[in-house]
Amino acid sequence: MTLAVRYTSARTLDTAPAADSEPGPGEVELAPAYVGICGTDLHIFHGDMDARVAAPAVLGHEMAGRIVRVGPGVEDWRPGDAVTVMPLRWDGTCPACRAGHQHICQHLDFIGIDSPGAMQQRWTVPSSTLIRLPETLPLDQAALVEPTAVAVHDVGRAAVKDGEKVVVVGGGPVGILIALVARAAGAEVRVVEVNAHRRLLAEELGLSTWDPAAADITELVQRWTDEAGADVAFEVSGAAAGVETAVEALGVRGRLCLVAIHPRPREINLHRFFWRELTLVGARLYDRGDFERAVALVADGTVPAQRLITKIVPLTEAPAAFEALESGGDVMKILVDCTDGTQGAAV
């Protein structure tokens, strides 16, 4: 019998037996090793996505594991291969897909939200979603490839260039990853974060931080940039104050990259956009190139994934882990160990 973590109703998760069936044509069965809990999973847990998520729903899309079985017609993969999953299934026929933007398909199946996710001991997915992992990369660290791919896509959407000054508003897991990826692109980076634990972790990773509760961020930006303003700002906080901070940080023709999910409309200073000819870009999800770049960044240590993992809990303790993440505090990234004792963090 295999187990799965399921969302059943607002603020209620359970651990229940999961169906175990042969992979069909073009499919593979995986043994997820580690699955990360992300902000979207928390939105589901809170009941905010009930219109989209059909309970009981198996959660999770940040994962790494190994192939157990391959279905008919799968030729490039073998049992035992270490993989992560790009959890997107698109229709290929909508206007977005026809324009080459399959990752934001107008009928997108985001696996782990719209269909069963990875937080289970066996998981069947299309082989087209697989991304190969280096055998030398520990699977717990590889579970951070998916959020790193988000950061790679965000930095690409903002077109960050060598030598530019970048402000990241929000120092949670994705904010830190964006800062690391932007730094790898040659940018000078400042992370704006009110939580002292997160600021300390960022500083231990060699990033410079500012506390918005202790100083005027706009004034700090002006001093840092000789009154020019930042070239790029990333809004990753999801807060109204974060939007204002990001807009005010930008200099002439600066780019604001909206990363956080804002569940309600926000006021924004459009006069600032007019006066400084600012650009606003949205950034959602990723493509295969972003994932492959993310694998390389985690594997070579540019993204020190191990430092971002606060703790690893067994699958049966996942419900408590959601509550711990909800409280914030000193928690960064929690992974759920889905193994049955046959595979470990190091491979």
DSSP helix/strand/coil, 303: coil
Catalytic residue (choose from 2, 40, 218, 302): 40
DSSP label of 76:
S
- Cα angle value 303/228/154 (rounded, 5°): 30
Query: Which residues are CB-contacts of 110 (< 8 A; sequence separation ≥ 6)?
Result: 61, 87, 88, 285
Catalytic residue (choose from 43, 101, 197, 262): 43
Active site residue 40: yes
Active site residue 124: no
Task: Give the integer Cα–Cα distance in Å for 118 and 123.
Answer: 6
Alpha-carbon torsion 61, 67, 70, 73, what sign? positive
For 86-120, the DSSP string reads --EE--S-SHHHHTT-GGG-TT-EEBTTTB--S-B
Q: How many CA atoms lie within 13 A of 142 on its CB side?
A: 28
* Bridge partners (DSSP) listed for residue 84: 131
Distance from the Cα of residue 329 to its chain's centroid? 19
| Whether 37 contacts 336, CB under 8 Å | yes
Strand segments, DSSP code E, in the chain are: 2-9, 12-18, 27-36, 57-58, 62-70, 82-85, 88-89, 109-110, 123-126, 130-132, 165-169, 188-192, 208-210, 230-235, 250-258, 279-282, 309-314, 333-337
Task: Give the integer Cα–Cα distance in Å for 126 and 26.
Answer: 6
DSSP label of 129:
G
Distance from the Cα of residue 109 to its chain's centroid? 17
| Whether 97 contacts 50, CB under 8 Å | no
User: Could you tell me the maximum CA-CA distance found in the chain, to the nearest angstrom?
Assistant: 63
Task: Give the integer Cα–Cα distance in Å for 71 and 79.
Answer: 11
Report the catalytic residues.
40, 43
